[in-house]
Structure 1
Amino acid sequence: MTVRMRDLVGGALAQLRYEPTGKRVRAEAGGAVVAQTERAVLVWEPRRVVPAYAVPVEDLTAGLTGPPVPAAPDAPADTGSAVPDVTALRVLDPRVPFAVHSTPGEPVGVRVPGGDRVLEGFCPADPALAGSVVLDFAGPDAWYEEDERLYGHPRDPFHRIDVRAASRHVEVSSGGRLLAASARPRLVFETLLPVRWYLPAEDVTAPLVPSDTRTQCAYKGEAGYWSVETGDGLVRDLVWSYRDPLPDAAQLRGLLCFFDERVDVVVDGVPRPRPVTPWS
């Protein structure tokens, strides 16, 4: 019997998952090292779509604060976003705070050396992760794998992006107003996500209104955003671009991408359905 890989991955989302890594991992806060280990483990709580790092308690520089407090999961089934092409569950994307947990465990505090600062941690109640604490990626000021800094969240070894140059003719519109047209897109194929169409700035005809919004992608880097005046009014943060992308996405430098979830996209004369994702 065959199985579609997407279904296999989607079927595992309900489980607490982990994967050891051979990378040396370091977290820094306030100019001090909070954790440094060669025994880190990537952990995905049930329904979480990106991992966090778990570190052995003895590899924390200053240890834990206070006794752990047992807690039950506090992520109701209706928390999160729908991704019907992957799973019937509502997934917990990075916008769902670390403090929301979907597996039994013990919330703990992680001390920062040399001060009163305390970071959030979590000890899942599972024998495979005994003696380790999962750290909130957003807590430390910086994370490193070996000597390279991480952005957004730890990189998933089972997740990848492929950037391909193409000659497909792409038109983007909204409310009957043409926003962009290009025959020289770069296509991004990213695990479990819809195809993204990155277009040269010269091929975007819509007036772009700069936004202060910034987001970080572990694979592509920091994105800046623009709002767009469409036939349906101003749509906020509809377009993004990577000014200084990470090496895996170097081909996307300066190109613009629209959220397919919020506009109409026609490729080679064929309308594409709007995908349903956390950004719909």
Structure 2
Amino acid sequence: MGVRIRDLLGRHLGELRYEPTAKRIRGMLDGQTLFDSRKALLVWEPRRVLPTYAVPVGDVSCELVPEASPPAEAGPDQPIELPDVATSAPLLSPTVPFRVHAGAGVALKARMPGSAAAAEAFRPDDADLRDYVIFSFDSLDAWLEEDEEIIGHPRDPYWRVDRRRSSLEVELRLDGHTLASTNRPLLVFETMLPVRYYFPADAVRVTLVPSETRSICPYKGRARYWNVELPEKTYPDLAWTYAEPFIETADLQGLVCFYEERADLLLDGVPQPRRRTPWS
């Protein structure tokens, strides 16, 4: 019997997963190098979807001090669901902080001598990773893969983002108003995520008001968000654009995307059911 890859991946999301990388990995804090390694591992902690890096203890230049309190354990709160993915355990939202762990281990503070700045780290109680330290991506000032800085989080080597221009007729409605309509969308297909429909700016039919919200995608670039103003109500952060896309996703420049799971989507005139996603 055949096995669907999506189901295969989903069955292991509740486990500690790792993958070696040949890249040189460096972490910077307060102008100093905390670690420099060519033996790093990409690590997905149990119930986490996004990876971070772990490095051998021997490649760490800073002090590693156990936290006074034990690591926070992941509870059943704030679970997320991936569309059409059967998982082995409730998944943790990326908004759940690094200090929350779903596996056993020791929480650490990483600090260079003479510096007041400290990074969060975790030493898992695992036979394969007991000589490694996992570092919080957000608690460092900068991460380098070889000599290039990376943002957001490390890229997953098994995660793809494909973009295709289409003649599909795409319309998005909300509260009886057409938000956008086009027959020249750019479709973005991302591993285990819903298809996203990017509209040309002249296809948007409603007023977009700048939001203070910003986000970083390590595959696409830096995004800014927009509130949608309708006569009856303002919907915050319903749309986004990539003002600073990466070179490989430069075709996203100037296009507008909406959380269609919060609106009514029609494809070639056919209404689509609203999907349940982490952004519903």
* TM-score computed with the length of structure 2 as normaliser: 0.94
Deviations 1:44-77 (A, max 9, x none): 1111001110011221222312x46795771113
Q: 1:274 to 1:45 in 2, by over 3 A?
A: same
Deviations 1:112-145 (A, max 9, x none): 3541211100011001002111000001111111
Q: Tell me by how many angstroms 1:171 deviates.
A: 0.5
1:15-30 maps to which residues of 2 (within 5 A)?
15-30=15-30
Q: 1:200 to 1:114 in 2, by over 3 A?
A: farther
The structure 1 segments of at least 4 consecutive aligned residues displaced by more than 2 Å after TM superposition are 67-73, 77-80, 87-90
- 2:149 maps to amino acid: R
Structure 2 counterpart of 1:76: 75
Structure 1 counterpart of 2:84: 85
Maintained 8 Å contact 1:80/1:96? no
Whole-angstrom CA distance in 2 between matches of 1:167 and 1:131: 53
Structure 2 counterpart of 1:4: 4
SS in 1 for 2:245: coil
1:1-280 maps to which residues of 2 (within 5 A)?
1-65=1-65, 67=66, 71=70, 74-83=73-82, 85-88=84-87, 89-112=89-112, 114-230=114-230, 233-280=233-280
Whole-angstrom CA distance in 2 between matches of 1:271 and 1:238: 19
Q: 1:229 to 1:56 in 2, by over 3 A?
A: same
Deviations 1:189-246 (A, max 9, x none): 0000000001111110110010010001110111000000236621100000111211
Maintained 8 Å contact 2:71/2:99? no
SS in 2 for 1:26: strand
Whole-angstrom CA distance in 2 between matches of 1:93 and 1:183: 34
Whole-angstrom CA distance in 2 between matches of 1:156 and 1:232: 41
Percent identity of equivalent pairs: 48
- 2:82 maps to amino acid: V
Q: Tell me by how many angstroms 1:273 deviates.
A: 1.9
CA root-mean-square deviation: 1.7
Maintained 8 Å contact 1:227/1:234? yes
Q: 1:63 to 1:265 in 2, by over 3 A?
A: same
Maintained 8 Å contact 1:226/1:239? yes
Question: Which segment is superposed worse, 89-98 or 73-82?
Answer: 73-82
Q: Tell me by how many angstroms 1:172 deviates.
A: 0.9
Whole-angstrom CA distance in 1 between matches of 2:200 and 2:71: 49
Q: Tell me by how many angstroms 1:84 deviates.
A: 5.3
Maintained 8 Å contact 1:34/1:113? no
Whole-angstrom CA distance in 1 between matches of 2:275 and 2:212: 26
Deviations 1:1-50 (A, max 9, x none): 11111111111111111111001111112222122111110111111001
Question: Which segment is superposed worse, 244-253 or 180-189?
Answer: 244-253
Unaligned runs of 5+ in 1: none
Unaligned runs of 5+ in 2: none
Maintained 8 Å contact 2:226/2:238? yes
SS in 2 for 1:128: coil
Whole-angstrom CA distance in 2 between matches of 1:63 and 1:156: 29
Whole-angstrom CA distance in 2 between matches of 1:207 and 1:119: 42
Maintained 8 Å contact 1:39/1:56? yes
Q: 1:248 to 1:86 in 2, by over 3 A?
A: farther
* TM-score computed with the length of structure 1 as normaliser: 0.94
Maintained 8 Å contact 2:82/2:192? no
